[in-house]
Amino acid sequence: MQQLASYLSGVWQCGNSEGRTIRHAISGEALWQVSSDGLDMAAARRYAIERGGSALGTMTFVQRAAMLKALAKHLLAHKESFYEISAQTGATRADGWVDIEGGIGTLFAYAGMGSRELPDDQLWPEDELIPLSKQGEFAARHVLTRRDGVAVHINAFNFPCWGMLEKLAPTWLAGMPAIVKPGTASAQLTQAMVRAIVDSDLVPDGAISLICGGAGDLLDHLEEQDVVTFTGSAATGQKLRCHPNLVARSIPFTMEADSLNCCVLGSDVTAQQPEFALFIREVVREMTAKAGQKCTAIRRIMVPETQLEAVREALIVRLSKVRWGDPAEEGVKMGALVSSEQRDDVAAQVNALVEAGCQLALGGTPDTRSPGAFFPPTLLVCPQPDEITAVHQREAFGPVATLMPYRDDDHAMALARAGCGSLAGTLVTNDEALARRFVLGAARAHGRLQILNGESAPGSTGHGSPLPQLVHGGPGRAGGGEELGGLRAVKHYLQRTAIQGSPSMLAAIGRQWVAGARVNESPVHPFRKEFEDLHPGDSLLTARRTVTEADIVNFACLSGDHFYAHMDKIGAAESLFGERVAHGYFVVSAGAGLFVDPGVGPVIANYGLNNLRFIEPVKIGDTIQTRLTCKQKTAKAQKTPEDRPVGVVEWAVEVVNQHQQPVALWSILTLVARRNGDFPA
């Protein structure tokens, strides 16, 4: 039997022992031997840092985002080969879609976030200027810079593609190389995707390494600049978190563990309402998707005690209709568990729950006649959820959930918290007041909460679907860590440092102009400069304009805004202004009119305005003046070679009065033509 090779130090290599056997989840056929014994983990770490880390470190955030997008396109083009291997793990086509295309979609999502929201630089200024002195000559801001270590990702078997890609996306966007250690039972699928990544030549040499088998002594060799993430069982994660070297060196460790997630039927929902059917559908889907092998699957089902029998009967009817077996057979909706060992573990956990006092309502007996690792949809009932504590402690990682009654809303929230921390919870309700009470009473025990009803159901992505934009993680048993959550995930692989100095120095370090920094004025209007000729700090101080009563009256008639503070002399006199004042949007319009160069030129369009603040009122007779300053710029990738090359320029706008007091501040975003179209697509 062939051994499943690891990819370390830029070479595909095998361990020196037979190791563990990977079997086909449906046929039981032996597929691969998996071992990493004897592989040099210290050398693999050095190679990743020296080759992959160095190459990624020369790239900007925007260039890394372009790399993610190109890789996502490449993997999507090869998806069918991944589906073929996914079938070996017992997954249905629908299960594989979440894992394969869901993972690739996460790459696309982070590519988009990186190109839109991160600087075209290797340094990420995280906030605006923080003044530290009265005169403004001493200030600070926080910046994020790349760690020069390696990210070690220890993943679970249930999502061999998505589990890797959802970590690689923010890791690479941050500029760190990664060593991936997948769950052994499905490592062949992870390996196939890593081969596709390596063969694509789209990521630098050393940016990705793969360990098929055990991690060996890798954790012993990690240093302070490294990062470790873990996805899997809470027990294993807790052992790794306490690894002596990780503790001694304060190496960041993020854990996402399986948890006893819950779904609660609101006390306002009756069996006649559409939400009752939604509840049943959500529970059944989460119990059977991926054969229940999801860290976000619903394990505890909580319903009003008056609804217990109705829910029990409805779930049995729906679960009994779920056809399970070989996904290659027509009509099969639920496949196998990943291995016979996993099947036996699920059976043992179900038996333990029954022995603790739970009642078996459906299923519970594994199919041992077939070579496949099949386990039927299984429903348990826990009549005394306060007394049978095992239901809040034991998890059967398969198509198994436990139904339990609650007395009132407070009891429901207490049961939701009893799992000691979960990744996801769902409340099905139409009662907005109940939803708010539930969030206040139970959100602290969950990483994510879905409030489901007929209004949200058509667009709902489901209880168990982590999304790139949302935090994936949870407190307590769920691991206490966070993944995803948009750009929050990228920051996990960066170092935050507070930088102090003069505004001009901070602007130079961040390559972004900040208030108080020096400006560069020239006879050439900034709007006459192409993208390559603009630099942060390029500035224009405009001519002045005195605001008249006619300006205010004309703007009111043009806009339809006849608010009393602008038009009613008596009412305005009694207001906090003491007299009539100009419209805020007139100040914005007049301020822009002062700085705009009207002729055809490199500025193509103004497509955004951010952070508008009105500082002081502008009264009749006041004289305003505008300063326009280039704050930062980012080249935009061309979607096709025929597209006009452009970049995004952010401009800081400050309007002052005759006393040099700021009256309005904002920033605008413009598309500016570039001469060169060689930015990576």
- What mean pLDDT comes out for the span 65-78? 95
pLDDT the model gives residue 680: 43
Q: Are 286 and 462 in contact (CB under 8 A)?
A: yes
Q: pLDDT tier at 640 (50, 70, 90 boundaries)?
A: confident
Question: Which has the closest alpha carbon to 403: 497, 500, 279, 219?
Answer: 279
Question: Residue 1: pLDDT above 70?
Answer: no
**What average pLDDT is seen over the chain?**
92
Asked if residues 178 and 151 have their Cβ atoms less than 8 Å apart, the reply is yes
Q: What is the mean pLDDT of residues 275-282?
A: 94
Highest mean pLDDT out of 86-90, 255-259, 636-640: 86-90
Q: What is the pLDDT of residue 572?
A: 85
Q: What is the pLDDT of residue 642?
A: 75
287 contacts 295 by C-beta, under 8 angstroms: no
Kindly provide the b/e burial profile for residues 433-457, where b requires at least 16 CB atoms within 10 angstroms of the residue's own CB.
ebbeebeebbeebbbbbbbbbeeeb
Cα-flanking dihedrals φ and ψ of residue 258, to 5°?
A: -60, 145
Nearest 5°: phi and psi at 305? -60, -25
- Do residues 215 and 42 make contact, with C-beta atoms less than 8 angstroms apart? no
The overall pTM is greater than 0.95: no
Q: Given pLDDT bands bounded at 50, 70 and 90, which one contains residue 678?
A: low
The pLDDT of residue 637 is 76
Burial (CB count <10 Å: 0-12, 13-18, 19+), residue 642: exposed
CA–CA separation, 180 vs 166, rounded Å?
12
Taking the C-alpha atoms of residue 3 and residue 586, their distance in angstroms, rounded to an integer, is 72
In which band, very low, low, confident or very high, does the pLDDT at 370 lie, cut at 50, 70 and 90?
confident
Q: Nearest-CA neighbor of 294 among 329, 343, 259? A: 259
Taking 90 as the threshold, does the pLDDT of residue 169 lie above it? Answer: yes
Task: Tally Cβ neighbours within 10 Å of residue 588.
Answer: 18
Q: Are strands 20-23 and 30-34 parallel, antiparallel or unpaired?
A: antiparallel
pLDDT in tens, 204-240: 999 999 999 999 999 999 999 999 999 988 888 889 9
Whether residue 424 contacts residue 416, with contact meaning beta carbons closer than 8 Å, is answered with no
pLDDT for res 677: 64
CA distance 300 to 400: 9
Length of the chain: 681
- Distance, CA of 157 to CA of 189 (rounded, Å): 10
pLDDT of residue 607: 85
Within 8 A by CB and 6+ apart from 217, the residues are 41, 42
Known active-site residue 256: yes
CA distance 246 to 590: 59
CA distances from 201 to 64, 76, 206, 488, 561 (A): 14, 15, 11, 28, 59
**For the chain, what percent of residues have pLDDT higher than 70?**
99
Q: Which residues, 6 or more positions from 155, have their beta carbon under 8 angstroms from its beta carbon?
A: 163, 164, 167, 180, 181, 182, 183, 190, 231, 232
Distance of CA 380 to the CA centre of its chain: 34
Q: Higher pLDDT residue, 136 or 660? A: 660
Rg (the chain; Cα; Å): 30
* pLDDT of 681: 40
CA gap 121, 118 in Å, rounded: 8
Cα-based distances in Å from 629 to 505, 510, 513, 671: 17, 16, 8, 15
Q: Extract long-range pairs of 565-569: CB within 8 Å, 24+ residues apart.
A: none
Query: Phi, psi at residue 452, to the nearest 5°?
Result: -110, 130
What mean pLDDT comes out for the span 416-429? 93
User: Using N-to-C axis directions, what is the helix angle for 162-174 and 187-200, rounded to 10°?
Assistant: 40
Q: What is the mean pLDDT of residues 444-470?
A: 91
Q: What angle do CA 287, 188, 151 make, to 5 degrees?
A: 90
The yes-or-no verdict on residue 613 having pLDDT over 60 is: yes
| Residue from 166, 212, 256, 654 carrying the catalytic annotation | 256
Question: Taking 80 as the threshold, does the pLDDT of residue 641 lie above it?
Answer: no
Residues 21, 1: Cα–Cα separation, whole Å:
9
Average pLDDT over residues 395-417: 95
Is 242 tagged catalytic? no
Q: Is 240 helix (H, G, I), strand (E, B) or coil?
A: helix
Q: How far apart are alpha carbons 465 and 94 in whole angstroms?
A: 13
Residue 438 in tokens = 């539930």
User: 161, 212, 263, 295: which is the annotated catalytic residue?
Assistant: 295
Tell me the CA distances in angstroms from 401 to 353, 359, 362, 461, one per residue in order: 11, 12, 10, 20
